[in-house]
Amino acid sequence: MYIHEKDNWWEFTYDAERVLPVLGEVRAKQGRVLGKMAMLGFDFREETLLSALSVELTRSSEIEGETLNLAEVRSSIARRLGMATAGMPTASRYVEGVVEMLLDATQRYDEPLSDERLFGWHNVLFPTGRSGLYTIEVGRYRTGDMQVVSGAMGRERVHYRAPAAERVPEEMERFITWINTPAQTDAVIKAAIAHLWFVSIHPFDDGNGRITRALTDLLLARSEHSSQRFYSMSAEIKLMQKEYYDVLERTQKGDGDITEWLLWFLKCLDKALESTENTLEAVVHKARFWDKHKDVAFNERQRKLLNMQFDGFFGKLTSGKWAKIAKCSTDTALGDIKDLVGKGILRKNEEGGRSTSYSLVTEEE
């Protein structure tokens, strides 16, 4: 029996004695992170926001087995938020769509949820009306049955069967009403419940996971009364993907007690908040670098590739990789790199020959 087959299945229960102490710790960390962000200058906050939103979108897509171009994602977000976009690539139609969905969720977090708003998100996820090779129902709730399966054809394993299609409109009406009703429980707990509830209804033909995570971001923004997203839940879910699906499956096959799910969600949020400190450190390092070298002359290719180094776009920097990304000849790339070595910006790594690579000179060097 699945959770939705029980009477009043949406009346979830949990062990408050186990959940509330963990919630208190996470809420305290949430407050500390937001406090640190508030003390930063505008440029630092802007860069951290851009990094967090970019990571959120790319990791959310990776969970579904889809890889987005991070440079395009950053470009689209920066343009929509009124940030500088010089040297950034033009985003594809699809990237523009997923960015639009996330920003609608986070920048308009305090506006009511509705069927039409969800249909709009679904439309921008599937602008061609197709998911891969298949035509799907777009911008409306599914009219067919839905199940989550894994395994090769003929040896599939069914992890979950969603409510029958004829139940979906009523289920979604109940869910949306609950979302829009002022919380009688803690807002972070409400975000966790919403995540489980929506993905258990599985109302769309495809894209349910990405929309679930956008809804989670919306409700976490409500919990903080802020559209400024400085951490990524999807990045942590991606790192713990098997664990995520396992606890979700156990809960969806359970008796309506969601204690295990809530504890897992809070652990994931706690890790996301911890990761923010690492993101913040990278942002500050990047800002210090450009401030330190504000009087140094760089060409556009150099600025682009150096920013990509700070943003974690690639691993070892080689002349071949530089040439490919900067769309220039290998000789030009090598000239750019040698110029930066001469200026003390890059250093040659120890390995040589065909594997010659370069790294940024650290502040300690």
Give 297-360's CATH code, choosing from 3.40.50.300, 1.10.10.10, 1.10.15.40, 1.10.1740.10.
1.10.10.10
Query: pTM of the prediction?
Result: 0.79
Pair of tokens at residue 90: 């033009």
pLDDT digits (tens, 9 = 90+) for 248-296: 999 999 999 999 999 999 999 999 998 887 767 777 778 788 888 989 9
Domain with CATH 1.10.3290.10 in the chain: 3-284
Domain with CATH 1.10.10.10 in the chain: 297-360
Q: What is the pLDDT of residue 258?
A: 98
Angle at CA of residue 169, ends 168 and 171, nearest 5°: 60
What distance in Å separates the CA atoms of residue 99 and residue 110, rounded to the nearest whole number? 18
Residue 110 vs residue 228, higher pLDDT: 110
Give 3-284's CATH code, choosing from 3.40.630.30, 3.90.1150.110, 3.30.360.10, 1.10.3290.10.
1.10.3290.10
What distance in Å separates the CA atoms of residue 130 and residue 107, rounded to the nearest whole number? 28
Q: Which of 17, 26, 16, 3 is nearest to 233 (CA)?
A: 26
Angle between helix axes 300-310 and 259-292 (nearest 10 degrees) is 150
pLDDT digits (tens, 9 = 90+) for 109-160: 999 999 999 999 999 999 888 888 889 999 999 999 998 887 777 777 889 9
**Is 192 in a helix, a strand, or coil?**
helix
